[in-house]
């Protein structure tokens, strides 16, 4: 499999959705007359990306900035890179996904078929994190890669890292991404530096923490709960906002002007009392 084919002129069209599709889903499924909090049954609205980033911050990693804004009793979480629509997704990853799935007619994709991420399918999930008798309920969306014949969710990952380097550098984020998407297993494509896939491995998500990794999921989930709890404590009232910032090691919280947070559509909020 050559991950270069069909990638000429690839334009990343998947980074600008923010919450629009999730808002549409909530609008369509909410009962008339409900408050927003009643409609979603949660304290937070997020994306899977944010949950992965916050959980992974339990261990040293990349710096990030995520903003949280309270509206109508619900806290919305949005990372700055999504707001600015500057996410540069790797076309080869989408090519690998294309190779591993069937087209709308149930046939394999052609090798030279152009790669696009303009359309995607998402699942909507609600989860509860618990600690010390307290609960944090989160409503979020996760993009789906594929569903197999047994209706298991599947994630596709391609990398030129050897297995040990993958464990050290990528396994944590790949595990968390899959965990928060209810994914059963990952198909990992090992590539050459020229982006030629030479090996496929099926990795059960539940088995990843049992491998020789330098992290553990429970520490990640404890960190996520701590951050959500801190944000909820700081945002006691509507129209309050905070920045969650990491320098790659430590987490900091900074006051933010709610007027600077433009990721919640006022038209969406008008659907709820």
For 98, the enclosing helix (H) or strand (E) is helix 91-100
Residue-by-residue DSSP string for 109-167: PPTTPPP--S--EEEEEEEEEEETTEEEEEEEEEEE-EE-TT--EEEEEEESS-HHHHH
In a domain, 11, yes or no: no
**Ordered strands of the 146-147 beta sheet:** 146-147, 153-159, 185-191, 197-204
Q: How confident is the model at residue 86 (pLDDT cuts 50, 70, 90)?
A: very low
Tokens of 191: 């590539």
CB 20 within 8 Å of CB 28: no
In a domain, 12, yes or no: no
In a domain, 14, yes or no: no
Rounded to an integer, the average pLDDT of 68-82 is 90
In a domain, 34, yes or no: yes
pLDDT of 83: 56
Domain containing residue 235? 20-269
C-alpha 222/C-alpha 144 separation (Å) is 26
Tell me what percent of the residues of the chain surpass a pLDDT of 90.
68
Tokens of 40: 């979603």
C-alpha 37/C-alpha 100 separation (Å) is 39
Phi then psi for residue 216, to 5 deg, are -140, 145
Q: What 8-state DSSP symbol labels residue 17?
A: -
**pLDDT tens figures, 254-267:** 999 999 998 999 99
CB 55 within 8 Å of CB 221: yes
**pLDDT tens figures, 193-240:** 999 999 999 999 999 999 999 999 999 999 999 999 999 999 999 999
Kindly tell me the burial class for residue 132, based on how many C-beta atoms sit within 10 Å of its own C-beta (0-12, 13-18, 19 or more): exposed
In a domain, 116, yes or no: yes
In a domain, 160, yes or no: yes
pLDDT exceeds cutoff 70 at 15: no
How many Å separate Cα 151 from the centre of its chain?
21
In a domain, 172, yes or no: yes
Rounded to an integer, the average pLDDT of 117-141 is 89
Q: How confident is the model at residue 2 (pLDDT cuts 50, 70, 90)?
A: confident
Residue-by-residue DSSP string for 43-96: SEEEEHHHHHHHHHTTSS---EEEEEEEETTEEEEEEHHHHTT-----HHHHHH
* Domain total in the chain: 1
Rounded to an integer, the average pLDDT of 21-46 is 92
Chain mean pLDDT for the chain: 90
**pLDDT tens figures, 188-206:** 999 999 999 999 999 999 9
In a domain, 35, yes or no: yes
51: closest CA among 206, 244, 236?
244
How many Å separate Cα 169 from the centre of its chain?
18
């Amino acid at each position: 499999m050559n991950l270069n084919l069909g990638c000429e002129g690839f334009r990343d069209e998947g980074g600008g959705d923010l919450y629009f599709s999730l808002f549409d889903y909530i609008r369509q499924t909410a009962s008339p007359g409900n408050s927003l909090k009643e409609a979603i049954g949660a304290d937070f609205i997020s994306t899977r990306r944010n949950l992965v980033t916050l959980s992974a911050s339990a261990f040293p990693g990349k710096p990030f900035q995520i903003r949280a804004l309270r509206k109508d009793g619900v806290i919305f979480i949005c990372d700055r890179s999504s707001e600015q629509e500057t996410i540069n997704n790797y076309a080869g990853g989408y090519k690998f996904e294309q190779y591993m799935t069937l087209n709308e007619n149930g046939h394999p994709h052609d090798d030279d078929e152009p790669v696009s991420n303009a359309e995607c399918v998402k699942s909507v999930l609600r989860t509860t994190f618990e600690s010390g008798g307290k609960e944090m309920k989160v409503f979020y969306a996760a993009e789906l890669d594929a569903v197999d014949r047994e209706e298991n969710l599947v994630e596709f990952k391609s990398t030129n890292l050897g297995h040990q380097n993958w464990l050290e550098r990528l396994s944590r984020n790949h595990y968390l991404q899959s965990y928060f998407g209810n994914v059963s297993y990952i198909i990992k494509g090992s590539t050459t530096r020229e982006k030629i896939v030479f090996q496929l491995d099926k990795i059960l998500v539940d088995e990843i923490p049992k491998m020789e990794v330098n992290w553990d999921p429970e520490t990640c989930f404890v960190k996520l709960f701590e951050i959500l709890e801190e944000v909820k404590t700081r945002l006691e009232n509507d129209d309050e906002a905070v920045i969650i910032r990491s320098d790659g090691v430590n987490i900091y919280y900074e006051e933010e002007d709610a007027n600077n947070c433009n990721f919640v559509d006022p038209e969406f909020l008008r659907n709820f009392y």
